[in-house]
């Protein structure tokens, strides 16, 4: 029962929105070929020449494939090192506790810190 009421309400709202979408006669008007020809004959030759000169003086943008690279090799090396450092380590490997403080405990005494690091999201 509720589902049918919701569907009926959705259909009524959609119909109301469709009726509200009115067309603007100024913006939606299409010019015929005769009107375009009539307007082209009314333009000033000085304006036409100024527009052509401005378009000729405008420098075209460089093609995308031949653009200057954003990163040099030094910047690329720095970014690569930063991404490697930011990667979350595996808990059961040698780098697993690099972000989890184990205080002064090392070796087997640091084993209880592995589940703590996993719960805190410091390793996977």
Q: How confident is the model at residue 99 (pLDDT cuts 50, 70, 90)?
A: confident
- The predicted structure's pLDDT at residue 4: 61
pTM: 0.37
- The predicted structure's pLDDT at residue 118: 92
Rounded distance between C-alpha atoms, residue 19 and residue 30, angstroms = 22
- Tokens found for residue 16: 């109301």
- Tokens found for residue 69: 């690279």
Residue percentage of the chain with pLDDT more than 70: 69
Task: Say yes or no to pLDDT of 93 above 80.
Answer: yes
Rounded distance between C-alpha atoms, residue 54 and residue 96, angstroms = 63
Mean pLDDT across the chain = 78
At 18-68, the pLDDT tens digits run 555 566 666 667 777 787 777 777 778 888 899 889 989 988 777 666 555
The full set of domain ranges for the chain reads: 88-124
């Amino acid at each position: 029962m509720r589902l049918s009421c919701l569907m009926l309400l959705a259909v009524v709202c959609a119909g109301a929105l469709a009726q509200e979408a009115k067309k603007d006669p100024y913006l939606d008007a299409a010019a015929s070929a005769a009107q375009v020809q009539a307007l082209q004959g009314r333009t000033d030759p000085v304006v036409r020449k100024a527009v052509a000169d401005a378009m000729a003086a405008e420098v075209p943008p460089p093609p995308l494939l031949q653009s200057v690279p954003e990163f040099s090799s030094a910047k690329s090396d720095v970014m690569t090192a930063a991404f490697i450092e930011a990667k979350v380590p595996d808990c059961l490997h040698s780098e697993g506790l690099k972000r989890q403080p184990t205080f002064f405990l090392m070796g087997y005494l640091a084993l209880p810190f592995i589940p703590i690091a996993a719960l805190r999201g410091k390793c996977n």
